[in-house]
Amino acid sequence: MIDLRSDTVTAPTPAMRRAMAEAAVGDDVYDEDPTVRSLQERVADLFGHEAGLFTPTGSMANVLAVSLLVEPGQEVLAESRAHILRAELGAHGALAGITSRTWVEERGRLDLDAVRSLHAPDMGPFFVRTAAVSVENTHNFAGGTVVPLADLRALRTWADEVGVAVHVDGARIWNAHVATGTPLAGYGACADALAVCFSKGLGAPIGSMVLGSRELVERARVLRKRMGGGMRQVGVLAAAATYALDHHVERLAEDHEHARLLAEACGTDPDLTETNIVVVDVPDAAAVVAAAAEEGVRVGAVGPQRVRMLTHLDVSRSDVERAAKVLASVLA
Ligand SMILES: Cc1ncc(COP(=O)(O)O)c(C=O)c1O
């Protein structure tokens, strides 16, 4: 089976497993795991932030970050298909008491005019106040779209003027960085808090991180523990993430090239495939998923008429060429 359902299906490589086995560890609830500490410092430096906090999942990193920027009863603005609103099972409302409103942008990008018109300033005990804007980079359900740095900078400038915080869901920010050459610190400078994942394209089995000021990250540490996310000797997991940063960032360019091949085979405009995600509109998504599976290719349905496929570390060029043939014939 060639599994294109997600870039989270990768297995740790033998070298990554060795790095995990050899990791120095300590009790991370006491903040004494040296491998976790050095990963947190390294990633915070990469993004130009003061501190980072290792979390088990991207969903936890997002809910910690957003709930430190938005108080219960306030709102976050996000694009209509944002992962934080569509695929985190209501955590931001259910666990953090946050409300939301959305803008719609076909490719999942920021629409600053829409954000401006949605923005609700503090009007005392009458209206919900907008406390943060969340941007997903790259945007998962819109097809791996990159949010341009210039747009993020414009958002930062406006957000500072009106006193709103900026959250970036950077589960796949590594893909945006490799696709555009934008330094990670450039993205970091636009955000008050970011969530980044090591368990997507980077190929680690688990692990994400919240990034922000020292003060924000210390508050995140308390919230993480409250949510049951305090972890002990997780240097073994941070070692996988460290290995991924050393070896699996630049190679994302291959995944992007592979995704373009799939987009072409599916008859979509390859220029719309900026990173490692291809979304295709079809008459019957379930039928396409079943027909491709019969031929040994797994793709996912992300709507009744939309299928999604992702390239990753565990699909080779020859796998992608075979998958392209199968998909071209299924979609013909
Ligand atoms: C854009 C985005 N943000 C956050 C997440 C959440 O990550 P996790 O599955 O580790 O909770 C995902 C997962 O696919 C994602 O695509």
Pocket of ligand 1 (CB under 6 A): 57-59, 62, 83, 136, 140, 169, 171, 197, 199, 208
Given ligand 1 and candidates 83, 138, 199, which is best to mutate, with the most ligand atoms within 8 Å of its CB? Answer: 83
Name the helix (H) or strand (E) containing 116.
helix 112-118
Q: Supply the DSSP symbol for 207.
A: -
Q: Measured in angstroms, how far is the CA atom of residue 84 from the centroid of ligand 1?
A: 8
Query: Closest Cα to atom 16, ligand 1: which residue?
Result: 140
Given ligand 1 and candidates 6, 60, 140, 194, which is best to mutate, with the most ligand atoms within 8 Å of its CB? Answer: 140
Q: Measured in angstroms, how far is the CA atom of residue 171 from the centroid of ligand 1?
A: 6
Distance CA 237, CA 25 (A): 10
Distance CA 209, CA 62 (A): 9
Closest ligand 1 atom to 62 CA: 4
Q: How confident is the model at residue 259 (pLDDT cuts 50, 70, 90)?
A: very high
Closest ligand 1 atom to 200 CA: 14
Distance CA 3, CA 297 (A): 6
Residue indicated by tokens 């709507």 = 303
Closest ligand 1 atom to 56 CA: 10
Q: What is the pLDDT of residues 109-153, one digit of tens each?
A: 999 999 999 999 999 999 999 999 999 999 999 999 999 999 999
Angle, helices 34-47 vs 235-247, to 10°: value is: 40
Distance CA 158, CA 155 (A): 5
- Which pLDDT does position 281 carry in this prediction? 95
What percentage of the chain exceeds 90 in pLDDT? 100
Q: Measured in angstroms, how far is the CA atom of residue 230 from the centroid of ligand 1?
A: 19
Distance CA 245, CA 318 (A): 25
20 near 12, Cβ under 8 Å? Answer: yes
Q: Measured in angstroms, how far is the CA atom of residue 123 from the centroid of ligand 1?
A: 34
Q: What is the pLDDT of residues 82-110, one digit of tens each?
A: 999 999 999 999 999 999 999 999 999 99
Distance CA 271, CA 231 (A): 42
Model confidence pTM above 0.95:
yes
CA dihedral 73, 129, 98, 232 (to 10 degrees): -100
Cα-Cα end-to-end distance for the chain = 21
Q: Give 309's strand partners.
A: 278
Q: What is the pLDDT of residues 270-322, one digit of tens each?
A: 999 999 999 999 999 999 999 999 999 999 999 999 999 999 999 999 999 99
Query: Closest Cα to atom 8, ligand 1: which residue?
Result: 58
Q: What is the pLDDT of residues 63-83, one digit of tens each?
A: 999 999 999 999 999 999 999
Average pLDDT value over all residues in the chain? 98
